[in-house]
């Protein structure tokens, strides 16, 4: 019998904490972009140290994390069948966490996140509701069920990445046209990664009637689109003179190209992970403490999955 403390940890890991990496990275990148825009630093990258100032940023990003955790739960609740067919280690699909418990946890996370955000930053709360309605409700629930539609899934991921970037921007920035413009290379970069995320799930999605881009186009066209879109992200970063986005997209592009040439799932998974990590490590330049968070979540996840399921996850190799 599994130890009781591992059963309790199930309620944390059901949120799939490694999926928080892109949420944290994009939102922190949004905050950093707003700082650079306000300071008009252009190509120059500073390492600003504002004692106490970053605590507010991590507070609001933590509240966004709770909300996105609820969205991930809702996605799993509506994806139980395909997750089983794809042999995913999701605790709801495996029956380790009862559906009613997952539903209750999602409601608690939504209420806690939105209540605290509204209390301290009403504009962010309204924006958070918009993010959740798109990434939680519209993406996973009827009648829209965007995740089961090729262009609907793409729209939800583009809108979600824009919303998350803007959430970080709005922590201390203005709601203006510059916010949407500066988000462009980051949104395109996330789109390139999203294309590839549809490939590993292709067998289960096809069997359950989900029509993702990989089902609709086939892996070859999806891989080619990812290469092109990441190139577009680099071009947008160059045009906007964003050194962070430009560095991330240029360093990630060879991985996209290699995945397209190799045409296998291992290369696809590797590209998704390294594309996220490259931008994450760049963001650590501005937020050094963030590196400790990334490492903690990575290693505690490795420990948990080894103890709970006897598997090596997450892994940087595939």
pLDDT number for residue 171: 95
pLDDT number for residue 315: 79
> Would you say 145 and 205 are in contact if contact means Cβ atoms under 8 Å apart?
no
Domain assignment present for 47: no
pLDDT number for residue 225: 97
50 confidence band (pLDDT: 50, 70, 90): very low
Averaged pLDDT, 45-74: 80
Domain assignment present for 18: yes
- Give the single-character DSSP code of 312: -
- Give the single-character DSSP code of 154: H
Span 87-124, pLDDT tens digits = 665 688 777 889 999 999 999 999 999 999 999 999 99
Kindly state the tokens that stand for 203: 């067998």
Q: Is the pLDDT of residue 81 over 80?
A: no
Domain assignment present for 193: yes
Domain assignment present for 59: yes
Domain assignment present for 276: yes
pLDDT number for residue 93: 76
> Would you say 242 and 185 are in contact if contact means Cβ atoms under 8 Å apart?
yes
Q: Between these two residues, 1 and 35, which has the higher pLDDT value?
A: 35
Q: Between these two residues, 7 and 292, which has the higher pLDDT value?
A: 292
Averaged pLDDT, 53-78: 93
Report the sign of the C-alpha dihedral through residues 264, 267, 270, 274, in that order: negative
Residues in the chain: 318
pLDDT number for residue 6: 76
pLDDT number for residue 204: 79
Share the mean pLDDT of the chain. Answer: 90
Span 276-300, pLDDT tens digits = 999 999 999 999 999 999 999 999 9
- Give the single-character DSSP code of 208: T
What DSSP line would sit under 71-126, residue for residue? Answer: HHHHHHHT-HHHHHHTT---TTTTTSS-HHHHHHHHHHHHHHHHHHHHHH-HHHHH
Instruction: State how far the Cα of 318 lies from the Cα of 313, in Å rounded to an integer.
Output: 10
Half-sphere exposure (Cβ direction) of 179: Cα atoms closer than 13 Å: 19
The interaxial angle of helices 150-170 and 177-197, nearest 10 deg, is 140
Averaged pLDDT, 260-277: 94
Count of domains observed in the chain? 1
Nearest to 285 by CA among 18, 25, 57: 25
Q: What whole-number percentage of the chain has pLDDT above 90?
A: 73
Q: What's this model's pTM, rounded to 2 decimal places? A: 0.91
CA distances from 111 to 67, 69, 216 (A): 9, 12, 37
Domain assignment present for 316: no
Q: Is the pLDDT of residue 85 over 70?
A: no
Q: Is the pLDDT of residue 312 over 70?
A: yes
Residue-range definition of the domain harbouring residue 248: 4-39+53-309
Domain assignment present for 48: no
Domain assignment present for 315: no
Q: Between these two residues, 312 and 258, which has the higher pLDDT value?
A: 258
């Amino acid at each position: 019998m599994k130890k009781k403390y591992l059963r309790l940890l199930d309620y944390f890991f059901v949120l799939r904490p490694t999926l928080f990496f892109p949420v944290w990275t994009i939102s922190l990148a949004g905050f950093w972009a707003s700082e650079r825009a306000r300071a008009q630093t252009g190509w120059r990258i500073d390492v600003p140290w504002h004692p106490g100032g970053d605590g507010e940023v991590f507070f609001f990003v933590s509240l966004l994390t709770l909300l996105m955790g609820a969205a991930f739960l809702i996605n799993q609740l509506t994806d139980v069948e395909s997750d089983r067919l794809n042999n995913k280690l999701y605790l709801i699909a495996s029956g380790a966490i009862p559906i009613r418990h997952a539903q209750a946890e999602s409601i608690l996370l939504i209420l806690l996140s939105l209540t605290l955000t509204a209390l301290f930053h009403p504009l962010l709360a309204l924006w958070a509701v918009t993010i959740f309605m798109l990434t939680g409700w519209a993406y996973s629930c009827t009648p829209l069920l965007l995740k089961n539609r090729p262009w609907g899934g793409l729209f939800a991921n583009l809108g979600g990445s824009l919303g998350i970037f803007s959430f970080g921007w709005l922590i201390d920035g203005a709601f203006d046209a510059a916010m949407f413009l500066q988000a462009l290379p980051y949104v395109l970069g996330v789109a390139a990664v999203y294309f590839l995320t549809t490939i590993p799930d292709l067998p289960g999605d096809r069997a359950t009637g989900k029509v993702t881009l990989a089902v609709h186009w086939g892996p070859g066209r999806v891989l080619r689109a990812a290469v092109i879109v990441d190139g577009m992200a680099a071009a947008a970063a160059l045009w906007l003179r964003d050194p962070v986005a430009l560095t991330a997209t240029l360093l990630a592009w060879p991985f996209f190209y290699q995945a397209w040439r190799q045409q296998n799932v291992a290369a696809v998974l590797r590209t998704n992970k390294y594309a996220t990590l490259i931008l994450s490590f760049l963001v650590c330049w501005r937020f050094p403490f963030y590196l400790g968070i990334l490492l903690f979540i990575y290693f505690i996840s490795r420990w948990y999955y080894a103890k709970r399921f006897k598997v090596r996850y997450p892994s940087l190799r595939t």
